[in-house]
């Protein structure tokens, strides 16, 4: 089987790493890839959002299966284009991808089909949004409707912060068109969890539950980022809670999409708040979580290729995942300044010291391979993943490796997993 992975981040490196292990894969491509994926797959000089060029490549190279990483590529309609050309691809259509590309669409769907979520209102007028914020008070959450790379949510603790968030999104347009419409919603209280399933539209195959760390700084302080680390399985999601989420959130969402004429195939990711009233949806994603997948995939004993293939063909009802009895912990190494402005081209040292360490993987994200050196080439440069019999051991391996890696401006959180461990991670 000839397989194409679309994307250039840590998630895509993890996918390439796992797919390369499959005996079914005879040739593996990654477009555009990064410094790390080039060691396992042939890199294709085509951007992840250039869907026409990707379709042409898939046709010319007789690609049997395309796996899409980034949400923007799905939102642009790559699945529709590929299917029109008779090309097999794993992911939702453009219309179905609105679950992530439009928070207003997602919230209205949840309201219509009684899927538990927080109180909300949608606005395309800044003045009306400000009036609603004054009425509801703080704390409150203000979200850009469109895609913002995981950075379009502002949690406001005071009324002035909330009003300022409305201005930033709708007047200043810090996220451009994504802020033309906003969602204002109540701030839910509890622990967050990520539930990710592979689905053929009817059957949902759950992956291990995970927890992400979205804030930039230790103690969940600072601005939202694309994710500074993750771990799996998340102990806060036990078997009873997992079943509850499947019965009251995941399956109702799939049925709701089908009822709207939007049968959903691919990855459905529910970002949840575990409140005192039960789990509620914060938002949906329509692709594998990044960096959650980097912590999950090393624990998957099953071949990933048949799982994705069966999802495309509608055969998931007979599939089960086999998992290692272990934990995974991922620490993101970011360029100083991210999620704002940051330098690129900084040489990364110490990666050789991380090779062949038991229970350790380093997935590249924002990197470039240049004349035998690895350079930083993005905000989140590397994902350091430890695997161990328990979470504490997994994170110990990850942080030991972090200590061996260095590049100018390197920044990372030192408390990944603190909720599960109930104490700060050993630095």
Nearest-angstrom CA–CA distance, 426 and 250: 36
Q: Are residues 351 and 403 in the same domain?
A: yes
- Look at residue 119 and tell me if it is in a domain: no
Q: Are residues 221 and 263 in the same domain?
A: yes
CA–CA gap between residue 363 and residue 349 (Å, rounded): 15
Tens of pLDDT, residue by residue over 331-371, are 999 998 888 889 999 999 999 999 999 999 999 999 999 99
341: domain CATH number?
A: 3.90.600.10
Separation CA 100–CA 123 (nearest Å) = 17
Which tokens hold the place of 16? Answer: 């390439």
Q: Judge if 266 and 294 occupy the same domain.
A: yes
Boundary (domain end) residue, out of 318, 344, 373: 318
Which residues on neighbouring strands pair with residue 235, listed in sequence order? none
Distance CA 287, CA 310 (A): 17
Is residue 210 within 8 A of residue 193, CB to CB? The reply is yes
Domain end call among 301, 318, 335: 318
Angle between helices 126-136 and 159-166 (to 10 degrees): 160
User: How high is the pLDDT of residue 427?
Assistant: 40
Shared domain check, 289 and 225: yes
Q: Which of 93, 111, 139 is the last residue of a domain?
A: 93
Q: Is residue 107 part of a domain?
A: no
**Confidence (pLDDT) at 243:** 97
Contacts of 319 (CB under 8 A, 6+ apart): 203, 205, 306, 307, 310
User: Do 136 and 221 fall within a single domain?
Assistant: no
* Beta strands at 204-206 and 182-186: parallel, antiparallel or unpaired: unpaired
In a domain, 117, yes or no: no
Residue 196 lies in a domain: yes
3-state SS class at 282 = strand
201, 314: one domain: yes
Domain shared by 363 and 254, yes or no: no
State whether 208 and 239 are in the same domain.
yes
Check which CATH number belongs to the domain holding 167 and give it: 3.30.1490.20
How many distinct structural domains can be found in the chain? 4
- Long-range contacts for 402-406 (Cβ within 8 Å, ≥24 apart)? 402/331, 402/333, 404/350, 404/353, 404/354, 405/333, 405/348, 405/349, 405/350, 405/351, 405/353, 405/354, 405/362, 406/348, 406/349, 406/350
- What is the pLDDT, as a whole number, of residue 10? 98
Same domain? For 295 and 215 the reply is yes
- pLDDT (0 to 100) of residue 223: 87
Helix, strand, or coil (residue 224): strand
162-167: long-range contacts at Cβ-Cβ below 8 A with a sequence spacing of 24 or more? 162/133, 162/138, 163/130, 163/133, 163/134, 166/126, 166/129, 166/130, 166/133, 166/142, 167/126
Tokens of 4: 């194409």
Q: What is the CATH number of the domain that holds 47?
A: 3.40.50.20
The reply to whether 199 and 308 lie within a common domain is yes
Is 116 part of any domain? Answer: no
Contact 154, 144 (CB under 8 A): no
Which uninterrupted H or E stretch holds 59? helix 51-60
125: buried, middle or exposed (CB in 10 Å: 19+, 13-18, 0-12)? exposed
On whether residue 101 sits in a domain, the answer given is no
Q: Are residues 205 and 314 in the same domain?
A: yes
Q: Using H for helix, E for strand and C for coil, what is the string for 332-390? A: EEEECCCCCCCCCCCECECHHHHCCCCCEEEEECCEEEECCEEEECCCEEEEEEEEECC
102 in a structural domain: no
Do 47 and 150 reside in the same domain of the chain? no
- The CATH number of the domain holding residue 280 is 3.30.470.20
Residue 427 resides in a domain: no
Under-70 pLDDT residues of the chain: 423-427
Which residues, including other chains, have CB under 8 Å from residue 135's CB and lie 6 or more apart?
none
Structure pTM? 0.95
Task: Supply the range of the domain harboring residue 84.
Answer: 2-93
H or E stretch covering 159: helix 159-166
């Amino acid at each position: 089987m000839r397989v194409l992975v679309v994307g250039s981040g840590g998630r895509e490196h993890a996918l390439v790493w796992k797919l390369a292990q499959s005996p079914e894969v005879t040739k593996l491509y990654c477009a555009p890839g990064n410094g790390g994926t080039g060691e396992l797959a042939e890199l294709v000089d085509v951007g992840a959002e250039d869907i026409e060029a990707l379709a042409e490549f898939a046709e010319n190279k007789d690609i049997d299966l395309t796996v899409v990483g980034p949400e923007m590529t799905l939102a642009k309609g790559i699945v529709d284009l590929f299917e029109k050309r008779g090309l097999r691809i794993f992911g939702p259509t453009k219309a179905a991808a609105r679950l992530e590309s439009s928070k207003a669409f997602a919230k209205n769907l949840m309201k219509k089909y009684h899927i538990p979520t927080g109180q909300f209102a949608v606005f395309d007028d800044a003045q009306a949004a400000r009036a609603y914020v004054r009425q509801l008070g703080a704390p409150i959450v203000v979200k850009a409707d469109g895609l913002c790379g995981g950075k379009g949510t502002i949690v406001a603790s005071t009324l002035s912060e909330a009003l300022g968030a409305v201005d930033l999104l709708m007047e200043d347009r810090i996220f451009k068109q994504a802020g033309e419409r906003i969602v204002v919603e109540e701030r839910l209280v509890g622990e967050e969890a990520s539930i990710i399933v592979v689905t053929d539209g009817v059957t949902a195959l759950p992956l291990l539950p995970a927890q992400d760390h979205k804030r930039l700084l230790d103690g969940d302080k600072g601005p939202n980022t694309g994710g500074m680390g993750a771990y799996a399985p998340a102990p806060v999601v036990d078997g009873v809670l997992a079943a509850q989420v499947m019965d009251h959130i995941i399956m109702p969402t799939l049925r709701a999409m089908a009822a709207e004429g939007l049968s959903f195939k691919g990855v459905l990711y529910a970002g949840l708040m575990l409140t005192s009233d039960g789990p509620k949806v914060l938002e949906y994603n329509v692709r594998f979580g990044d960096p959650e997948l980097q912590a999950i995939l090393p624990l998957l004993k099953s071949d990933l290729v048949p799982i994705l293939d069966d999802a495309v063909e509608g055969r998931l009802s007979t599939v089960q995942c086999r998992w290692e009895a272990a934990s995974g912990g991922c620490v993101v190494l970011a360029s100083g300044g991210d999620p704002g402005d940051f330098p690129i081209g900084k040489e990364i040292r110490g990666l050789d010291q991380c090779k062949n360490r038991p229970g350790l993987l380093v997935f590249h994200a924002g990197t470039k391979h240049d004349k035998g050196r690895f350079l930083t080439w993005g905000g989140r440069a590397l994902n350091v993943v430890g695997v161990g019999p328990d979470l504490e051991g997994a994170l110990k391996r990850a942080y030991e490796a972090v200590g061996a890696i260095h590049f100018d401006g390197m920044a990372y959180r030192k408390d990944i997993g603190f909720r599960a461990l109930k104490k700060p991670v050993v630095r």
